[in-house]
Amino acid sequence: MKKFYFLILFIKTICFSAQTWNSIGPNGGYFKDFAIHPTNPQIVFAGSDDSGGIWKSTDGGQNWTLVSSLFPNITGWKIVFDKINPNKIYACDMYGRYGLIKSIDGGNTWQLKNTGLNTRYDKMVTGIVHAHNKPDTLLISTGYEPGGTPPRPGNGVFRSFNGGNTWSAAGLQGTTTPCIASNGPGGAILVGTIGNGLKVSSNFGQTWINHPQIPPNANVLEIETDSNIVMVSALLDGVFLSTDYGNNFTNIGMLNEVNFDINIFKKTPTIELFSSAFSGLKKYSSSTGNWTAVNHPELNTQLAMGIGSRGNTLYVSNFSNANILKSTDGGVTWNFISNSPKAIEVGGLYIDPANANHIITSVLGTYNLNGLLGKECILETVNGGTSWTRKGPVAHGRGIAKDPNNPTTFYLGTYAKGLYKTTDAFTTFTNVRSGNRVILDVVVNPNNNQEVLISEIDNSNSSIAILKSINGGLTFNVTSTLVATKLDFDPVTPSVVYASTYSGLYKSTDAGNTWNILTLTNVPLSTVKSFSNHIYAAHLNGTLFKVNGTSTVNITGPWPNNSQINNVIENNGKLIIGINGAEKDTTLNLFGSTYLSVDSGSTWTNITGNMPCTHVYAMNGLQLVNNDLYVATYGGGVYKSPGLITSIKEQKNLQQINIYPNPAVDFLKVDLENIKSETIECFVQNYFGQIVLETKVSKANPEIDISMLSSGFYIVSFANTDIASKKIIKK
């Protein structure tokens, strides 16, 4: 109850209109699955990887609408149409946030279907299949990799006999099962495992055996079926093909390739298949028995993450956070879909303080694996997000630091490619710190642009260090072996620098030449931000501290434990923090969020509002320009909330109205007797700050239907900012 106490206390102090966030791009992202309507090819669904949501197109992919906004940060790892009624659609969330959601109206609205999936591992749903001739019998696979950072082991297979309303264990518990399929009239279920080959069950999961023609220790990542054709990706063991519903398989090549995604393109008169590889997209034809490269500059040396097809039309997404590619002639020619979904991962953000329409972001352009080329990692807009230009180095972009004396000089930190410098806003650039180096942060002395500090992990020799350059990045020298998660120059005395490290808050008084512990000794910190007379630092477990001299005060708000705070900003008495939940699915809070305090951290409110991707992930991912707040996210691009600061009103000046009953079960009544308007728009927000319901109430019909909401605490706010928000409880 402690967390809700803080929330209630804050509402007594200030009030907002329901916070509105607009995604301003960039377009693109990486999409794990494409599902094309079985009878109307103009209807297409794209499911993003981590946190980008589920998107729908009704015009063949030219324009897209996010349809999963009530499920913030959901993935669309696999999207499946019901075999009998295509208005029923299932979507799998592999990262353990939701498990499974279902639509019964063609994907316009969705309901959570995870009863019986009791653990986070159970909810790592990677695939779903209908049992043959049993429309309400469903089975799901869970997990993707038992190791990794973080691990995503899943927990075997689950089944439902009532269309997904409830689930129970169906075998292979404790096993990572990345994919599942049915072999058609035979009724058997095929499940891929990590390290245990292809499993087969003919009794809906009561017993499982290994398929004898797939290596028993294979890593089976993908299974695709189309009538009698079954295609299996066994990672380095290659691709296997069956033409008799999976009873017998033949290895058709692609050994020692990744085969991250596969696709059955045609069955007659020849079998044609697609598979991804580090060397590019490959196509197989049974007429030759060979795989050939799909020769296109946007596909060569690109790893395809998602492949979907129907008829002669193909959709492909690459790992490079680019726009979706579409072919209408079987993969001969390709075109970018310029209005691709806005589901991109942003690692670094710069907004021109003199011109907020000029924004530079860094994104994941490549994973730097096995010669995988990827794409440029800089996206720039000069018109506030209407259009973006891609440029800069081919890399996995992270933090961006501006030279204070030169309008077009920037530094860019990357994963595994070191540090870059540009003097013309990334039209050209130089790798000034090359090698297999991860740059955790980069900062420039605001009083001396020749002094540049970086925090670095050198993977080639497993070393960690803070380094300093005194010649504008030409050369660097190690000044500390601390693991610094964030560096920050003091705004008043630029010779003073602070470092949040795994062993406490450190301070340098000589611009980073030497370092000494300041406070929070042996406390692992995720970020630091200094202001004129105080400092903010965050523990890796989500505890937020305010430091004044030698005094340290815990000002942690009502966010969940194990929240990763990456960003802190302060302006005119308004303190704002950003929390990241991306890539933390088995270790930390899965949901990011944005919180604001107007009293130096004594009380907080969640202002995430209608933001469908809530991970404040990027370096400098929170920026306030002209009272507009910008948030750079992992999976949703950049969001903008216009007039955030000016929307704050003192609660004591706001009109109070009665909402009852409270607690409520199905309906709330809003007393509008003393309100001049006949009709008023209202919003219901959940604990994470997400708008879960938008509706209108009137004096003629003053009820809000909350029957579809789960039990818990909610906030009801109004479009009329002169009316106070109210906390309500749904039983």
For residue 18, the 8-state DSSP code is P
Say how far apart CA 280 and CA 372 lie, in whole Å.
8
| Positions of E strands within 170-294 | 179-182, 189-192, 198-201, 209-210, 222-226, 229-233, 239-242, 250-251, 262-266, 272-275, 282-285, 290-293
For residues 556 and 66, is the Cβ–Cβ distance under 8 A? Answer: no
Phi, psi of 10 (to 5 degrees): -65, -40
- Residues composing the chain: 731
Say how far apart CA 42 and CA 49 lie, in whole Å.
22
Between CA 148 and CA 150, with CA 149 as vertex, the angle to 5 degrees is: 100
CATH of 654-730, one of 2.60.40.3080, 2.40.160.50, 2.40.30.10, 3.90.230.10: 2.60.40.3080
For residue 472, the 8-state DSSP code is T
Would you kindly state where each structural domain of the chain is located, as residue ranges? Answer: 403-630+639-650, 654-730
Sequence-separated (6 or more) residues with CB below 8 Å from residue 375: 302, 318, 320, 321, 322, 365, 366, 390, 394
For residues 639 and 631, is the Cβ–Cβ distance under 8 A? Answer: yes
H-helix or E-strand spanning residue 715? strand 712-718
Neighbours of 525 (CB within 10 A): 25
Question: Whose structure tokens read 């700050």?
Answer: 689
Q: Does the pTM exceed 0.75?
A: yes
For residues 261 and 275, is the Cβ–Cβ distance under 8 A? Answer: yes
Say how far apart CA 28 and CA 341 lie, in whole Å.
6
CATH architecture of 403-630+639-650: 7 Propeller (2.130)
User: What's the pLDDT at 9?
Assistant: 33
Determine what percent of the chain falls in helix, strand and coil, rounding each to the nearest 5.
5, 45, 50
3-state secondary structure of 118: coil
Strands 628-632 and 638-641: antiparallel
Closest CA to 412 of 388, 438, 435: 438
Amino acid identity of residue 624, one-letter, is: L
Amino acid identity of residue 652, one-letter, is: K
Q: Which strands, in side-by-side order, build the sheet including 272-275? A: 262-266, 272-275, 282-285, 290-293
User: What's the pLDDT at 708?
Assistant: 77
Provide block-wise average pLDDT over 10 residues at a time, the chain (731 residues). Answer: 32 52 94 97 95 97 96 96 94 96 96 96 96 87 92 97 96 98 85 98 94 97 95 95 95 90 96 91 96 88 91 94 95 94 97 96 86 89 97 96 97 96 98 96 97 97 97 98 97 96 98 98 98 96 94 95 96 94 88 93 90 95 94 97 70 73 90 84 74 85 86 78 78 79
Closest CA to 258 of 239, 274, 277, 273: 277
Sequence-separated (6 or more) residues with CB below 8 Å from residue 288: none
Say how far apart CA 138 and CA 276 lie, in whole Å.
28
For residues 232 and 249, is the Cβ–Cβ distance under 8 A? Answer: yes
Tokens representing 264?
């059955």
For residues 272 and 282, is the Cβ–Cβ distance under 8 A? Answer: no
Say how far apart CA 436 and CA 1 lie, in whole Å.
47
Question: Whose structure tokens read 């000794």?
Answer: 521
Phi, psi of 543 (to 5 degrees): -75, 130
Closest CA to 609 of 563, 570, 647, 573: 647
